[in-house]
A and B are shown apart, each in its own frame.
Chain A
Amino acid sequence: MRPGAEGRGARKDMSEPTRPGVDAPGDWEFPTPERRDLDNGLTLISYHVPGQYVLSLRVGLPVSLREEPREREGVATIMARCLDEGTERHTAEEFARLLERKGVSFGAGVAEAGLFLDIDVVAGNVDPALDLLRQILTEPAFPPNEVARQVRTRLADIEQERAVAGHRAMMEFYATLYDAEDRAARPVGGSRQTVAAIRRQDVVAFHREHVVAAGTTLVVSGDLTGLNIASSVDRALGGWARGADRPSFISESAQLAADRDRVVVVDRPGSVQTEIIIGAPGPDRSVAGGWAPYPVLGFVVGGSPSARIDAVLREEKGYTYGIRAGFRPRSSGGIFTTSGSVRADATTESLRLLAEILEGAGAGLADGEVRSGVDFISKTAPGRYATADAIADEAVTMALDGRTTAFTTANLRDLATVDARRADEAWARFWEGSRLGASGTGWTIIVVGDAAEHLGEVERLGLGPVTVVRDS
């Protein structure tokens, strides 16, 4: 509409306006970065995003969890959390104050794809922030008391995670889906026994070997007006030790468990709700036929209150606040999960309905459903990727997947061509590839709830062998 013009629904009296039409979305593309390869193997990717006054810095290091010693799993997480807990020149307390006085927020963590560091800072303080980042990466002191404190904190976190039904369910899902010998079957941050065994020398050794410049990506996103980010990064991180050469991303597939198609009940006596996961192995972004149909499938099946699952379990039955389904790519292979919580006395009926709805997707999706999914994902992209942090997050995710945000752009273009035929083919590929069968068989199913209440009925559903786990 033009300035000053009246709307389409305009009327002269005070009667109701009529329903207006919609103009086509304006032109938009994912921002184009500048790339610079430093001599020490660090890659800088920068995005100028006008109006984003807080810069988002993301560092992605291709560090595989499989590099952790089996008896010290969680050492990467402890190392990440200790990076700013004291450096060669500053105590942990002093360093926290240095960050805070410049308004720098810092976080670090580990995922399957690697080690991530996040910094947010107003543009005017980016140089001091980069110098603090240099100290974090290259001069951490890992004081023994700080390492011990982070170990205790992680042990407390483990108890918190076990207490929250959604976390507990996800932990059991990985343990059931993947072969017990595979790192993917066990918690990213380690378990009680392995975390408790971590000492300073483990952390120092892990840092020395893995926190190096080669293969590392630094993303800087935000309003870069008046800044010379390339020279700022050269000054701050040009001297960071290169380390051994390595690829900039990990590509490892996880071994699936031979007996993954079964039901595990995690007993929670007296639970007023039951947390459910129904899942299977899924594709990654390099899947034949393209990645674009998979987010659409997730949307149609379980991506909104009007998706197939919530149309029944929430809007028709009132069993749940909401259940979500979707595909999550990993570096090689991925997972599909349907997860959420339901009223305790609707546990069995919810499981039956979910299995039925998932199987029903194989009978073919309607053109309208697929169009809705394509429209939602493509038309929300300009808003989803409008902020510095969203752009930086996407860029570092792509970097650690061996891609650039050119993939994001190409995938959005491909998305526009996804129709019901492509969506159906993609679902069929997933179904066959994951060896899913009729009547709810083939899934990995986790049920966190009152075993005494539900066990018999769940067994009678015939979704697979049922075992019960009781937490100590």
Chain B
Amino acid sequence: MTSIAYPLTERTLDNGLRVIVSEDHTTPTVAVNLWVGVGSRHEVPGRTGLAHLFEHLMFQGSRHVASGEHFTALMDEGARLNATTWFDRTNYFETLPSGALELALWLEADRHGHLLEAVTQENLDNQRDVVKEEKRQRYDNVPYGLAMTDVYATAFPEGHPYHHPTIGSMADLDAATLEDVHAFFRSHYGPNNTVLTLVGDVTPDVGFAAAETYFGHLPPIERRIRPLIPQLPPLTDPARVDRGGEVPNDRLYIAFRLPVDTTPGYHACACAIDVIAGLTSSRLTRRLVRTDETAVGVGGWTMGLIDGVSLGAITVDVSAGEDPDEVEAAVCDELEAFIAAGPDDEEMESVVADTERSWLSALASIEQRADLISHHALLTGDPSFVNTFVDQVRAVTSEQVQAAAAAWLRPQARAVVRYLQADEAEAVA
């Protein structure tokens, strides 16, 4: 059992910016990581994809920075950098030699405080095209590329913040205007809606002083915060979508609504899904892949979210010639059996050991450590989650896992998305 105790020091600037410093001098580098509390869950109908398109514009120049200069100025100093957008947040990050920390903070503050002066119709149109190619490359032109979009739409009701994917729709991307971009920035980008984490070759004193120097002048924004929506209950009847087409094999996504992220119920559901489908020695791997040989692969995962629901899923790649209905029935059998008896001690031991190693691996790099610290500071309120998560999982009992499965993973609560080879899809249409 490895004790996890990364140092964490936190301070909030007068303008509301939360700054967290975690000192680690093993290499002369530092990870700079900003999480802004805006993601696709904040988008309004007709403007899906805007949070992500906006993220692209953050690299196209700001008050004192030319288009593309954010990349080139930082890469010249040895930074690896990027940004990503997801349901609940948008993050911006770079890892670079610690002697360039102040430059990184200055560049970040310029775009996080003064982006709009540099946004032009030309930039917007260009990045709209780039994002559309990103959508084609990652979603439209790849087998099963739209499956997760179908899962969200099937598991979550129309109008729910997680009903639509972060990439948005082509029509909505086309509809985005400069006015939308301005309004979006003013509503969401401000120090009091942002967490800044510094991990690496920097002391807390130096980190806080630098944050104050470069971000201290930014005014807070007026935040109109919608309260988080109440926990969405499990589905009461199975929901399903079938897609047919050019896929190499039939694949099932059997998804469930789960409790929100980092709650005891969420951890217990995550343990249950690990045992049923996530571990290499999971029950469904043993049954479908090793014994029945009706599947070539089984996976299980959970996605922690904050706005009233999380998501968990079991995925099955069906063996050629096998009946997807029978495979799905076998998954339901195993869910029922798990709910009836719960996990055994060896299964729980495996979940804890696997969680410990994978969590420590995630924390091994300063960039991912910074990302996880920002994540939990912004979304669940507790940056020290990086130090306590494994203990939280270790504290989960078999009975809690069984009870969570009974509450959230019943077969009738499943949302099923099936991607079927074309000829079969016609038969079921």
Residues of A at under 8 Å CB distance from B? 1-11, 14-17, 19-28, 49-54, 92-93, 96-97, 99-105, 120-125, 149, 152-153, 156, 159-160, 162-165, 271-273, 304-306, 311, 314-321, 341-343, 371-372, 375-376, 378-380, 382-384, 386-389
Are A7 and B356 also in contact (CB < 8 A) when A99-B280, A160-B248 are?
A: no
Indicate if the CB atoms of B75 and A386 lie closer than 8 Å.
Answer: no
Q: Which of B79, B140, B201 contacts A380 (CB 8 A)?
A: B79
Q: Which of B78, B129, B141, B353 contacts A271 (CB 8 A)?
A: B141
B360 within 8 Å of A by Cβ? Answer: yes
What 0/1 pattern do residues 124 to 143 of B give for CB contact below 8 A with A?
01111111111011101111
Q: List 24 A-B contacts (CB under 8 A).
A: A3-B203, A3-B205, A4-B206, A25-B28, A26-B97, A26-B99, A53-B364, A54-B360, A96-B280, A97-B350, A103-B357, A122-B2, A156-B248, A163-B246, A272-B136, A304-B71, A305-B59, A318-B133, A320-B130, A320-B133, A321-B131, A341-B133, A375-B78, A388-B364
Segment 47-90 of B: residues with Cβ below 8 Å from A: 59, 64, 67-68, 71-72, 75-80
Residues of chain A within 8 A of B125, CB atoms compared: 318
Q: Which of B76, B99, B134 contacts A24 (CB 8 A)?
A: B99
Residues of chain A within 8 A of B246, CB atoms compared: 163
Q: Which of A124, A162, A273 contacts B2 (CB 8 A)?
A: A124
Return the 8 tightest CB-CB contacts between A and B, nearest first: A379-B78, A318-B129, A26-B28, A23-B99, A103-B353, A159-B248, A7-B213, A25-B97
Indicate if the CB atoms of B354 and A7 lie closer than 8 Å.
Answer: no
Which residue of the partner chain B has the closest CB to A19? B106
B308 within 8 Å of A by Cβ? Answer: no
Residues of chain A within 8 A of B29, CB atoms compared: 382-383, 386
B297 within 8 Å of A by Cβ? Answer: yes
Q: Shortest Cβ distance from B221 into chain A, in angstroms?
A: 16
Residues of B at under 8 Å CB distance from A? 1-2, 24, 26-29, 59, 64, 67-68, 71-72, 75-80, 95-100, 102-103, 106, 109, 125-134, 136-138, 140-143, 201, 203, 205-206, 209-210, 213-214, 216-217, 246-249, 279-281, 286, 289-290, 293, 296-297, 317, 319-320, 346, 349-350, 353-354, 356-358, 360-361, 364-367
Q: Shortest Cβ distance from A420 into chain B, in angstroms?
A: 16
Q: Which of A21, A306, A379, A387 contacts B68 (CB 8 A)?
A: A306
Q: Shortest Cβ distance from B77 into chain A, in angstroms?
A: 6
Which residue of the partner chain A has the closest CB to B69? A306
Are A93 and B290 also in contact (CB < 8 A) when A4-B205, A16-B217, A17-B213 are?
A: yes
Q: Which of A11, A19, A321, A383 contacts B103 (CB 8 A)?
A: A19
Which residue of the partner chain B has the closest CB to A384? B80
Residues of chain B within 8 A of A152, CB atoms compared: 293, 296, 319
Main secondary structure of the interface of A (DSSP, over half): loop
Residues of chain B within 8 A of A165, CB atoms compared: 141-142
Are A26 and B98 also in contact (CB < 8 A) when A101-B353, A384-B80 are?
A: yes
Q: Shortest Cβ distance from A126 into chain B, in angstroms?
A: 12
Indicate if the CB atoms of A19 and B64 lie closer than 8 Å.
Answer: yes
Q: Shortest Cβ distance from A105 into chain B, in angstroms?
A: 6
Residues of chain A within 8 A of B360, CB atoms compared: 53-54, 122
* A121–B364 alpha-carbon span in the complex (Å): 12
Indicate if the CB atoms of B68 and A315 lie closer than 8 Å.
Answer: yes
Which residue of the partner chain B has the closest CB to A99? B280
Indicate if the CB atoms of B206 and A17 lie closer than 8 Å.
Answer: no
Residues of chain B within 8 A of A19, CB atoms compared: 64, 103, 106
Residues of chain A within 8 A of B210, CB atoms compared: 1, 7
Indicate if the CB atoms of A97 and B364 lie closer than 8 Å.
Answer: no
Indicate if the CB atoms of A54 and B361 lie closer than 8 Å.
Answer: yes
Q: Which of A3, A15, A28, A320 contacts B27 (CB 8 A)?
A: A28
Q: Shortest Cβ distance from B122 into chain A, in angstroms?
A: 10
Residues of chain B within 8 A of A271, CB atoms compared: 141
* A10–B211 alpha-carbon span in the complex (Å): 11
Indicate if the CB atoms of B356 and A50 lie closer than 8 Å.
Answer: no
Indicate if the CB atoms of A383 and B80 lie closer than 8 Å.
Answer: yes
Indicate if the CB atoms of B209 and A4 lie closer than 8 Å.
Answer: yes
* A52–B360 alpha-carbon span in the complex (Å): 9
Indicate if the CB atoms of B28 and A386 lie closer than 8 Å.
Answer: no
* A99–B29 alpha-carbon span in the complex (Å): 34
* A156–B59 alpha-carbon span in the complex (Å): 40
Which residue of the partner chain A has the closest CB to B125? A318
Q: Shortest Cβ distance from A10 into chain B, in angstroms?
A: 5
Are A164 and B357 also in contact (CB < 8 A) when A23-B99, A305-B68, A321-B130 are?
A: no
Are A100 and B279 also in contact (CB < 8 A) when A20-B103, A386-B29 are?
A: yes
Indicate if the CB atoms of B206 and A1 lie closer than 8 Å.
Answer: yes
Q: Shortest Cβ distance from A388 into chain B, in angstroms?
A: 6
Residues of chain B within 8 A of A372, CB atoms compared: 72, 75-76
Indicate if the CB atoms of B354 and A22 lie closer than 8 Å.
Answer: no
Q: Which of B26, B290, B354 contacts A149 (CB 8 A)?
A: B290
Residues of chain B within 8 A of A123, CB atoms compared: 2
Which residue of the partner chain A has the closest CB to B367? A383
Which residue of the partner chain A has the closest CB to B216? A14
* A17–B79 alpha-carbon span in the complex (Å): 21
Indicate if the CB atoms of A54 and B357 lie closer than 8 Å.
Answer: yes
Which residue of the partner chain A has the closest CB to B109? A17
Q: Which of A20, A342, A375 contacts B133 (CB 8 A)?
A: A342
Q: Shortest Cβ distance from A407 into chain B, in angstroms?
A: 20
Indicate if the CB atoms of A122 and B26 lie closer than 8 Å.
Answer: no
* A383–B27 alpha-carbon span in the complex (Å): 7
Q: Shortest Cβ distance from A156 into chain B, in angstroms?
A: 4
Q: Which of B249, B346, B364 contacts A156 (CB 8 A)?
A: B249
Q: Which of B71, B100, B106, B297 contacts A17 (CB 8 A)?
A: B106
Residues of chain B within 8 A of A4, CB atoms compared: 205-206, 209
Q: Shortest Cβ distance from B100 into chain A, in angstroms?
A: 5
Are A376 and B76 also in contact (CB < 8 A) when A22-B103, A101-B346, A343-B133 are?
A: yes
Besides A11-B213, A17-B214, A342-B133, 10 more A-B contacts (Cβ < 8 Å) are A23-B99, A25-B100, A54-B360, A97-B281, A102-B353, A122-B2, A124-B2, A304-B71, A372-B76, A383-B27
Which residue of the partner chain B has the closest CB to A379? B78
